[in-house]
């Protein structure tokens, strides 16, 4: 097998799937060991909701940190045990109709296909496997004595950090960034899109759509079925 000539970096939430980081988290919160645990965790998450709302407007990294604090105290075993179910019930039905074909286009052209996402590794890895990609750069929960601390391991995958991680990944694999591709739906991923030679807007939000038009970036929709 020949080594990949270049890489294609995909944002995941909103780009390949319709869910975001909140959906799998909610699944975990409502599927705790007992109804009491579920109620307590859900209540705590609700208390954090306004802060998360503000953080989402200001800074994606802070939002991620607040969101993942909801996992504090959950056992690693339970997270891994439920991962298949999260994938089957939350992620899989949310994959956009043409996402698989886009990933396949890149694979068929010999690209290394990398998902780069703020979602958690044990879920994104399943999507990698399902869509036939090569690997993922994603967030990892910090564990202590088999339980989640509610913090993320560094580096936190979000916003401009994605661009740095892509640079690092390309350098480590010997890819010329000018030849690399990046796909995202969100204006917040502008740094990651700007770092490669071939950016593309996928199901773009209005700000990204405008920018893509101004710079003549390819822009398309994976949700359309007609």
User: Residue numbers of the site for another protein (CB under 8 A)?
Assistant: 8, 98, 101-102, 105-106, 108-109, 111, 181, 183, 198, 200, 213, 216, 218-222, 224, 226
Q: What is the distance between the alpha carbons of residues 2 and 19, in angstroms, rounded to a whole number?
A: 34
Whichever of 76 and 221 has its CB closer to another protein, that residue is 221
Shortest reach from residue 65's CB to another protein, in Å: 32
Shortest reach from residue 195's CB to another protein, in Å: 16
Shortest reach from residue 172's CB to another protein, in Å: 22
Whichever of 55 and 102 has its CB closer to another protein, that residue is 102
Q: Is the dihedral of CA 113, 115, 121, 126 positive or negative?
A: negative
Shortest reach from residue 166's CB to another protein, in Å: 16
DSSP H helices, 159-215, are 160-173, 190-194, 206-214
Shortest reach from residue 149's CB to another protein, in Å: 39
Q: What is the distance between the alpha carbons of residues 195 and 163, in angstroms, rounded to a whole number?
A: 6
Q: What is the distance between the alpha carbons of residues 118 and 125, in angstroms, rounded to a whole number?
A: 12
β-bridge partners, 220? 202
Q: What is the distance between the alpha carbons of residues 206 and 5, in angstroms, rounded to a whole number?
A: 33
Whichever of 120 and 200 has its CB closer to another protein, that residue is 200
| 214 CB-near residues (< 8 Å, 6+ apart) | none
Shortest reach from residue 133's CB to another protein, in Å: 13
Whichever of 85 and 176 has its CB closer to another protein, that residue is 176
Q: Is the dihedral of CA 46, 50, 55, 57 positive or negative?
A: positive
Q: DSSP states of 5-45 as a string?
A: SEEEEE--BTTTBS--THHHHHHHHHT-SSHHHHHHHHHHH
How many angstroms from the chain centroid is the CA of residue 87?
Answer: 13
Whichever of 171 and 213 has its CB closer to another protein, that residue is 213
Whichever of 187 and 220 has its CB closer to another protein, that residue is 220
């Amino acid at each position: 097998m020949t080594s990949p000539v270049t890489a294609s970096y995909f944002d995941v939430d909103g780009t390949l799937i319709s869910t975001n980081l909140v959906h799998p988290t909610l699944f975990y919160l409502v599927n705790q060991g007992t109804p009491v645990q579920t109620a307590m965790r859900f209540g705590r998450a609700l208390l954090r909701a306004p802060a998360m709302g503000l953080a989402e407007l200001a800074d994606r990294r802070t939002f991620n940190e607040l969101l993942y604090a909801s996992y504090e105290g959950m056992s690693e075993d339970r997270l891994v045990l439920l991962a298949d179910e999260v994938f089957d019930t939350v992620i899989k039905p949310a994959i956009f109709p043409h996402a698989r074909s886009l990933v396949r286009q890149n694979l068929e052209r010999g690209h290394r296909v990398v998902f780069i996402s703020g979602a958690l590794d044990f879920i994104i890895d399943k999507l990698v496997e399902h869509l036939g990609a090569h690997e993922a750069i994603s967030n990892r929960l910090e564990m202590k004595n088999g339980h989640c601390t509610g913090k993320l391991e560094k580096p936190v995958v979000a916003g401009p950090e994605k661009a740095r991680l892509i640079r690092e990944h390309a350098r480590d694999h010997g890819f010329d960034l000018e030849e690399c591709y990046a796909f995202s739906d969100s204006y917040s991923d502008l740094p990651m899109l700007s770092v490669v030679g071939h950016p593309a807007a996928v199901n773009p939000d209005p700000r990204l759509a405008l920018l893509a038009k101004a710079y003549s970036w390819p822009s398309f929709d994976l949700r359309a079925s007609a």
